Structure 1
Amino acid sequence: MSNNIKDFTLTKLAKKYTFVKDSELYKFYDALNNSCKEKEYHNTFEALWYLGIYDPSIISFIKNEIFKKLNCLLNNTEESVDNISSSKDRHCIYLKYWLYDKLIIEDFDEYDISIIFDFLKKKKNAFMKILKSNRPCNIYKLSLSDIHKIKILYDYSEFLHDSDTTKYDLILKDEEYLTYFKKGLDLYQNSKIICPSIKKDDYCYEFNEYETKYKRKSAYLSCKEKLLSSLHNKVTTLNGGSLQGDRKSEGAVDLDLYELLKKDQIIDKIHLHKFYESLEQHKRTDTSDICNSLKSYPVKNENGVCELLKHAEYILKSWDKTYATYQKLTTSETCDYMRYWLYDKLSHIDANPCEIETFYILWHNYTTDESKNKNKNKCKNEKYYGFNKEELENKKKLFDFLVYYKSIKDKIKEPKNERKNDYCPYIKSIFELYKKMEQKNISHSYTEELKLFQNNFSSNRELNFLEENCPDMCLGFVFNKKFKTLCPFENKPIIEAQKKNHTPCQKIDHTFRNLGGNHEKDYNFSNFTTHDVYKELNGEIITNNYYSICDKFILFNEQHCGIHDLCSKLVRNLKKLSRMENKERTERCTYIIHWIYDELRKIPNIISENNYETIALREFLNVAYEILRQLEIYDCFFNTVNIDFDEQKEKKYLHDYFKNYEKMQGKNFCNDDTCQEYCEYITFINSLYGKYINRYCYCFESDGCKEIYPSYFKCDDNYNPHELFEKLQCNSFEEFRGKLKKVDKPIPEDHYVKRLAYISVNKPHLLNWGNKKSSIIPEVVSDKITSDPFHKFSIGSFGFLGVFLILFILYKFTPVGSYFNNRDTIDKDSYFENFENQYLEDDVEFSHGNTKNRRMRIAYHQA
């Protein structure tokens, strides 16, 4: 499409297409352009018309294009707009269209257009007078881009919306004009969604007024709108493409679903497939006149539509007898099955949306004609709203799945069913289809199926069941409105150019920062409680796929082998965390934090003296927080600045020890052969326990110990490694005999004791420690009282208050107070006297001037 909007002015469109030239809009436009060319107007009125505007180009435009036309039409009944065209109720739209087209032709900029609209708003009454309509014609101040959009929208709406489909054959010949009108359709569809409720500006006010007063109100797109939309995509022919691909159905049931159900021999457990087959086989052999009505409609493929009409007529003739209560189904169910069978048939004939609509019009006429349709149970097409082939296929596929879902669920539940995992990819494809249908439900074409899906899966119990049996497929995110796709981080195949950087890391030497001692020994014993959790977190990712948010780490993978897989694992683990709640969520968050720090240490070259000198590490931590943000996880943050990986590793050891403690306390935890390994582990943990207990346990004499970081350090004496050391009889092994020293709790620090210690250091004289004289001697007691600083301060304060009390009494109740009050009055009188004298002096000085023409002023005073 040309980027120049001036290539699509109304004059050029009229030269291109005769249906534009013959339109009422063009007649109005052309007549207005050619009217009043020789008329004169009053100069005074003209001066008032564009008063305050100084730009010559704007003045010329208002003078010659606006003022002359409107003034002439106001004063000349022969050239009234009432005589220009017959569509008087649309003259307001035509007049504004003419204005927008002129503004585009004159190539005004944003500033010029703003001035013109300000002027027009002031002269809005002139518009009202020339239109002579009962409807108000509002002028909205549009921007330049809004003028372009509304002009394109009007071109589509006035020339193609609900028009003869033969026009589509004409515009199909020129891709540039096809694209132009398709853009008008897109603007019209988007404006119908945004303007009524979301956006409020002058563009939307203009559109809403146009839609309310001049258009047919409908939540659904017409077949002609869908036809134009499909014409724009030539790859999918005139009928629109399917969201699900080109796989056709087997016996009317979706082929992928049919193959799964047939393998498990449950295809006939539900009557849907048999019902479809019965309809398929119920074809007529005699003649029918139902197709005669097709001649009244613009149908190109009469044979396809006619054959299906005759087929449907033959089915309806035996509806009550054969199908209304088929296999004890309800009449509502059988009618729904019939509708979706027709969707499938219509999606496989060569018919465009308007030809499909013609089929439904004729079917509706037949079902409502009592002389032809004598069935007691009517099956009408009340839920058809002009679907195209794409919509018909998608609606049918989703419906078939929902009907069979209960049977699928029962098969998944069977523990010995080897094929139950085959259902998971299909279920994921259906959930992806639901998300796509939800995104494309602009005209509410999928509303019925979306509601059916929501009714089946809206409960957390159903989604949790699927998540448990079909893990890592994002099924739990299906109702998350924030994500346009099913998975927030798309699973994409790795392209060939990236595979060389995505090599296994087994042969690469992992160099760790040396923590000393046994810190690099793996104490994650298989029977530990923590073992299964870390095994799940570190589960392998399929190397043929990756999450899009991790794609940058494919390039880092050569120098930091394993970082890409670690990112993918983090995405998977955080996705699962986002669906957890309460205690389970809190505990899993703690595991993930310790796991991610530990795994980062294993990445080659990832750690330097300054962690943020490693670009890969910085990018990884940024991506980690981006994942948390997208998944709306705000309760599982971890430190990303100045990370001490040595300390984090020690915290992980302690965290795991406390998580596994109850397991190690159990009976028969180990035998003589295996206990030795655990004794080594407990000895190692004891060294860390002694290192951190004084940091993270704050103990009191009366209230036990307070745990500063309970997630990885417990202060209770029951968790002391020495208890386990004794229980496992580690002293029986020579290498551990006498090697473990019990770590004691920190000395209790009571608040009162701390206060006493502070006084003893800073104010020892208050305690008088070391004073051997007995305080029972009167002289000593008296001396202590008088020498006490508090005693001295108290006496001084009371003395100061006594002085103020005496002064107050003198001021309030003696002549001394009266003297001071009178003195203030004298000072005030003196001030006002000075002010009055100054005023008089100024007045006298002013009166030295000429007073002949001045009014005499006399002051009057009350006696």
Structure 2
Amino acid sequence: MNRNVVDSAINLLPGYGNFGIESQLYIFYSLFDTYMDPWDTGEKAKCNSKSEELDKMWCKIEHTLKDIKEYITDFHVDIEKTLDYLIYWFYGQLNKIDHNVNNINSFHSKVTSYFNTKFPELKDKLNKKYIKSYNIKVLQNKKELYDFLNYYKYIKGMLNQNRNNQKFCNYIEYIFKLYMEIHDDYNSMNSGWYDDEIKLFKDKFSDVAKEINLLVAKCPLINLNLIFDKNNKSIRLIEQEKSKKKVEKTFESIKTISEGISLENTTLNKFYSELNECAREGKDIAGCNSSNENYIKNDKDFCAMWEKMNKILGEWKEKFVKSFDLSRNKRCDYLSYWLYEKVKKFKDTSNIIPFLYEVRELFIKHKFCNSKKYDFRVDQMENKKILFDFVENFNDIKVKLNVTDIKEKEKYCNYIKFFFDVYKKMETSTNGSKGYQDEMNYFQAKFLGNIKELDNLNIKCPGKCLKFIFTDEYTNFCTSEQESREVVQKEKTRCTPMNNFEVILIDSNLKDLYEELNKEDQIDNYKNYCTELEKHECTHPGVTTLCTKAVKNLIYLSLMPQNEERDERCFSLKHWLYQEIRKIFNRKSTNVSYEPVITKLKDVVLRINNTHFSGKPCYCSFDGTLNEWKEQKYLHDYFKSFDSIESFINKDQDACIKHFGSVNYTNKLYEKYIGECCYCFKSGHCKEWCPDYFKCEDTLNPYNLYLKLKCTEEHAKDFTIVDKPISIDNHVITTTRNSLLLAYQNKLQDPFYSTVLYAFGTLGIFMIFFVFYKFTPFGSLFHRKKHNDRERMQNFISEYYGELTANESEHENVSRNRRKIQLAYNSA
């Protein structure tokens, strides 16, 4: 399932009834996409004169949107709805530029400036609604989901007519899976980036029973359980269900691992016991009337707990302040974690966090506690509590490791290992670490940098890799033999590739450049830039040295003339840096972009770019997985070394035997990336979207090397010939557009059609011609110096409504993101 599923379905929608007339979103996209290519030669020359691709695009955007206020006013379009369309249209435009950090940041800044200038009265609302994410996938997901939800009623109409059902069913299934996927992206979900789309989704599918009946009848192959709870006729609470399963699994595990563990006499557990005892004592307050919150008064769970908290409050000074030698903050922390345990299973989960604040306010009023921020999800409370309890009780736990009974000792070692695993899962999770930050910090305060403590644990509990908890060597399945050979194995892994064909024969000049970039001479002069990295040396040895090398190389690069040579050196520098990071992390496919050490390194690189580069910078986004970095460096080196590789193969008599594996591996990577890196036209020209690691020239296709290997037919079975992506025939598109325009102009000059337009327009599509001709403001809205109002209107109508009346087969072959006028610009 891919983007073609989306395009092939949307391209069929204009064939349904009044879709092209009624769908304001489709009309908006069609109109403004069409005018992204200025017809006025002066405007085109102005935009093309810009040196940067982003500046060229923004020039066209400004030209396209300059009269948008008149469009809103004259057409009586709801301004907020139109600006919603504009925001999603911006997301679509952003997806067309090179996705480096600098471009994305500049684009977001330009959009913000546009809102502030064009709509000052709505700028706060617009800037809040427009998501300035550097993750293009998030913005693409938002647009795809929003577009689908706006088109859904028309899709249902097509399904009811049994027209191209399979394509629309594929589209629906694609969106359902997308809806599931965005719930896996915790960082984006927790940031509220998808809130608007999720709310709209739930509104569109509010009549669950009706939607299920339709989809069962028309799209029987769709797995409706992805989205719907058929028994309760409701939309699944996807995030809550996933979290609940994780929590229940953890809860069952801790019950098992805690069997036979004796910690009743720790200060923390004594405090918990006293809280339980106080909460069990008889009531001496008047119910829940002391609360102003209706959910507390009306819900038996909250009401009962509110009574208990007031009882504890009354006994706080005598039973908890005087009886326990603890700081004020520590007592309040104990109370909070105890409370997490009590409220975590309340049915009304939406009010659990507000209830925590209400309870805290009780103790703040009496000056027993300070304010606290409950910045986490309800489903995270279980893991928050168990990790806090473990760290708080650790000094009592480690004493148990001194016993002579091997089984008893192993029991406590497994107990410690369990909580180290809990921490590691929190640390490496892409969908939850934010809510656990307090507990992770507490764990780190106890163990990070405490080498003596970790070494002692490793001795007492061998084979569990406990001392590697803050490194990437930590695993859940570590043997003592592996531990004893840690250094040897690490170096072996670094130096030995998975397959020998993954080592590419790079050009000698490129090899010399990498060696130069890796030199350590004079790096002491740059240490002051990397002081923040020093604290990560314990967990990522060598990162400070790498940072100083990167600074040295970037500053040297900034002094070079701004030409192609500097650009190429920048690309090589990035791949060198990513390779060195891979050595430090020594993982295959993990995304390390959110690791604290990478964040610090990214800050240093950004600072050097901002302070030393004038004009074109050399940013490193650090996006993607380690494996993607490896593949992209391989491709970069391949294209840079193509001539050398070709020459080497030509000289080798056993070329096929020695090099088929390498060429075939290169070809597979070439096939994997060409679709997203090359946007090609019928003329043979291709727009390169990944210039730092991919070239679209036919001469660089690995197939050309394969031919020189002169392999047998047996090898040919394993080799796939990779062609360029499907070309766009701009000449045919332009000719078709002009033919439609000429046909319309001929009809417009016929008196008969003029009469029909005036008298019977409301009965059919000719009414649309009349309305746009007679009443619309497109003449003033899209002014062109060399076209009068009548000519401009004819141009728009002939293009736009020519699309509406085209047959369905034509729609299937045109991508909605590759519109006619726009293509003419790109292929020029």
Asked if these proteins are the same fold (TM beyond 0.5), I'd say: no
Q: Which has the higher contact order (CA 8 A, sep 6+)?
A: 2
- Return the TM-score normalized by structure 1: 0.37
Larger Rg computed on CA atoms: 1
- Return the TM-score normalized by structure 2: 0.38
